[in-house]
Structures are given as C-alpha cells and as structure tokens.
Amino acid sequence: MEVHEILAAVKLGTVTVEEAEAYFRRKPFEDLGFGKVDGHRKLRTGAAEVVWCEGKADEHLLRLFEHIYAEEGEVFGTRATQHQADIIQACYKNVEYDSLSRILKIEKEGKQHKGMVCVCTAGTADLPVAEEAAQTAEFLGSRVLRVYDVGVSGLHRLLARLEEIQDANCIVAVAGMEGALASVIGGLVSKPVLAVPTSVGYGANMHGLSALLTMLNSCANGIATLNIDNGFGAGYMASQINLAICKGDTHE
C-alpha cells in the first residue's frame, strides 16, 4: 500500500493505528544475505529501488525481482541480457524485455502518465540510450514524446518537430559523435535540457568523451549533462522535473 492509502484507511477505520504504526516501523531495508533491498526508497524519493542487472548472478537477480515485485507490484531492471530476461520470464509471464534498451520490467496495468518528456536523438545509433531514457520516464509515470534521428547534419529534421519539442516540460538530448544536438536544442527551448553523450563515433570520439566535453562546454543555457550512455539517469531526472511541474511543486 502507498503511504496515503494507509493514512486514508486509518481515517476510514479499515486499518488500525497499531497496524499503520507497524507498517511504518518496518525495517528500512531487507537483508537478503548477498545484498540489501532498500524497501523505504519509494517512501523517501517517490520511486522504488531499480535493479541494475548487468553482472549480477542469476540467483541474485531472480531473488531481487521476487522481493521487489512482492513489495511493489512492479519492478524495473536496467542493462539486462537476453539470458537474464529468459530467467525472469520463466517465472513471471507478465515480464517485458526490450532488447534494444535492455530494459527488463514488470509494470502495473492501467498506469497513468502525466505531462510530457521529450527524448531526442541525433542518430539511430543513439536509440539504445534514448530508449533507456524514454522507458524509464514512462515507468515513473511521465508521458514521453520520441523525436529520433534529428541530428545537426540535417537541422531541418529537428525544426520540423520544434513546436512539439517546445511544448514538453523537459527535453532529453541524446547524441554521440561531437554531441552538438544538446546545444542546438538548448538555444531553441525554454525548458530544461538534459544532455546525454553516447559512446557512438569514430576514434577521436574516445568512446563518448568528446561528446561529453562538448555538452559540458555548451554555450546554450539551461543544459545539464549526464554521464556517457546514462539513459536511465536522464529518464529518471526528466521524469522528476516533469512530475514536479505537473504537481505545481516549483519554487520561485
């Protein structure tokens, strides 16, 4: 149950004060032996713990999914392999795996999506990182507009979608090579732009370092730069910004 649901139930008398107190006194984490699941993270931050799948032992991954799913009714995993997806899908028929973004998730049905996050890419090679961002934002409750393959080598492609991009509450700009897309978008919109450099590019791209430096040194205002290939971090932050705007939770 959500915190507000518990408090509402206490008000209605369907949950006793003692039962509610027992819920809030529950340990803030569960020790599974190999790791500790942060059960109070959603209470503190608004979103439950996310599973980083890459490198985890099969048994550990399955137990993490089991525990979080039992507590939350949904679970979100990043950087999963097909092998890991097969393991989870053997136990849960409602699990979804996207091989492009490497997202592995079980999601509640009928979830409401609010506001708008726009995810843009310079090219199609940037799609794995962009989809990681887009699907993260969607899982967290944001509507997502995808505007892909609008890099600076064909600026007219971006300008053709400019009105839609400007209407979003937050824009994620995903680009490799020289990473110029974020600067271009930053000079055309009044909303926050989250720049994500990707490791796409030839030798001097240095696995995303050149795009990262371009984004960090952008002359456009309102740009914050994420780590190389960090689509999850961008999607998470973009959703926080978007949902805060939807709630009117802003400060002058």
Check whether residue 151 and residue 230 sit in a common domain: yes
User: Tokens in use for 167?
Assistant: 């209407």
Q: Which amino acid is at 225?
A: T
Check whether residue 182 and residue 85 sit in a common domain: no
Check whether residue 193 and residue 93 sit in a common domain: no
In a domain, 197, yes or no: yes
**Which of 63, 79, 106 marks a domain boundary?**
106
Check whether residue 43 and residue 97 sit in a common domain: yes
Domain total in the chain: 2
**Which of 46, 72, 106 marks a domain boundary?**
106
Summarize the chain as % helix, strand, coil (round to 5).
45, 20, 35
Check whether residue 69 and residue 46 sit in a common domain: yes
In a domain, 57, yes or no: yes
In a domain, 153, yes or no: yes
Supply the pLDDT for residue 46: 79
Supply the pLDDT for residue 26: 64
DSSP 189: -
Check whether residue 128 and residue 239 sit in a common domain: yes
In a domain, 38, yes or no: yes
In a domain, 23, yes or no: no
In a domain, 6, yes or no: no
In a domain, 220, yes or no: yes
pLDDT in tens, the chain (252 residues): 566 777 888 888 888 888 777 776 666 776 677 777 777 677 677 788 899 999 999 999 999 999 889 888 899 999 999 999 999 999 998 999 999 999 999 999 888 999 999 999 999 999 999 999 999 999 999 999 999 999 998 999 999 999 999 999 999 999 999 999 999 999 999 999 999 999 999 998 999 999 999 999 998 999 999 999 999 999 999 999 999 999 875 444
Check whether residue 136 and residue 49 sit in a common domain: no
Check whether residue 94 and residue 213 sit in a common domain: no
- Compute how many other C-beta atoms are within 10 angstroms of the C-beta atom of residue 57: 9
Check whether residue 148 and residue 240 sit in a common domain: yes
Q: Whole domain around residue 81: which residue ranges?
A: 32-106
Spacing of C-alpha 37 from chain mean position: 19
- CATH code of residue 203: 3.40.50.1970
Check whether residue 228 and residue 121 sit in a common domain: yes
The kind and range of the H/E element at 44 are: helix 41-45
Residues with Cβ within 8 Å of 249's Cβ and at least 6 positions away in sequence, in order, are none
Give dist(CA 58, CA 74) in Å, integer.
19
Supply the pLDDT for residue 252: 41
Give dist(CA 98, CA 53) in Å, integer.
13
Check whether residue 133 and residue 200 sit in a common domain: yes
Closest CA to 118 of 181, 165, 176, 188: 165
**Which of 78, 106, 134 marks a domain boundary?**
106
Check whether residue 144 and residue 232 sit in a common domain: yes
In a domain, 1, yes or no: no
